[in-house]
Amino acid sequence: MEPGNGRPVSPIKTAGGALLNWWRAATLDALIVGILWLIGLELIRVPYAPLWALLGGILQIVPTFGGMIALIGPVLAVAFSGHDEWRLGLVLGLYGVIVILEGLVIGPYVLHRTTKVPWWAAFLGPIVLGIIIPFWGVLLAPPLLAVIYAFRRPKT
């Protein structure tokens, strides 16, 4: 029921609101990842670090492959700036830390805070759907979970 007038909320409005909240979560997640890239790349002194961090944040919207594509720029920048295998290893390590933090902590937490999807569902949903429907399951799991849990919420 809608507050104030007693009419039921339409399913389209419920699903649309859930998808809008999911988009907010994805955008906040991308912003956090971009900031992590910027801090890490600046500490490592990677050439054009702000550019690579901006691209890393934008590409975070693309599930699974966005982070890998974002890694190409910093790796090439370090590789072409001289024979510095240590910094190249640091960039690869930074990528690993960001992927682990985003997948296990940041992504599920942000999705839970904005869409009320339980942490365990936000964590396990893409894994399970990725096994059932490879690639598409990982891509569709977060918005699908947001919609499912929007319909499960008690209506006031």
Around 45, how many Cα atoms within 13 Å sit in the side-chain half-sphere?
Answer: 5
- Judged against a pLDDT cut of 70, whether residue 3 lies above it is answered with no
The total of other beta-carbon atoms located within 10 Å of residue 118's CB is 14
Give the span between the Cα atoms of 154 and 136, in whole angstroms.
29
Q: pTM score, two decimals?
A: 0.85
| 3-class DSSP state of 8 | coil
pLDDT tens digits, residue range 11-33?
Answer: 899 999 999 999 999 999 999 99
Give the span between the Cα atoms of 5 and 80, in whole angstroms.
64
Rg (CA), the chain: 19
Q: If you write DSSP's letter for every residue of 47-71 in order, what string do you get? A: TTHHHHHHHHHHHTTSTTHHHHHHH
pLDDT tens digits, residue range 55-113?
Answer: 999 999 887 788 899 999 999 999 998 878 999 999 999 999 999 999 889 999 999 99
Structure confidence at residue 135 (pLDDT) = 84
